[in-house]
Amino acid sequence: MKLNILFLSVASLNVNAFCFEEAGRYYDVSPTLLTSIAMVESNLQADAVNENRNKRGEVVSVDYGLMQINSTWFSRLSRFGVSKDNLLNDACFNVHIGAWVLSQNFASHGYNWNSIGAYNAGFSAKNAAARARYIRKVQAALASL
């Protein structure tokens, strides 16, 4: 039983590794960085769904899949057929969308840690502390690979 679980975990990681490599090449983003972000965002869980709430406890957005693609991107991505279903049902597609989001940050603000932190916390000055916390988490994940 344990061997089967280990095999499935390794097989899943290999498929995901290919996805990170492919998306990294296409969007000119480090595959190792993409993997680190997925580790922080979803613990490499392709079916992860998490709600984001405001101070009043109201759901303001939802994150989907391996790269935890935020629903606020849907207005921009819907014209390309992106939906929560394909983000949850196709891990490689999810990684590609995550790489696209990160590449947008790099294009607008440079290839730097601030752009990586903004993947999770945005570029708003009021989110600087959250961005810094996220950067530290990604750096720790990178160091573990």
CB 127 within 8 A of CB 121: yes
Percentage of residues in the chain having pLDDT higher than 70: 90
Does this model's pTM top 0.85? My answer is: yes
Q: Which two tokens stand for residue 116?
A: 């990586």
Q: What is the CATH number of domain 2-144?
A: 1.10.530.10
CB 66 within 8 A of CB 48: yes
pLDDT for residue 15? 53
Q: Does residue 13 have a pLDDT over 60?
A: no
pLDDT digits over 70-125, tens only? 999 999 988 888 999 999 999 999 999 999 999 999 999 999 999 999 999 999 99
CA 34 – CA 23 distance, rounded (Å)? 9
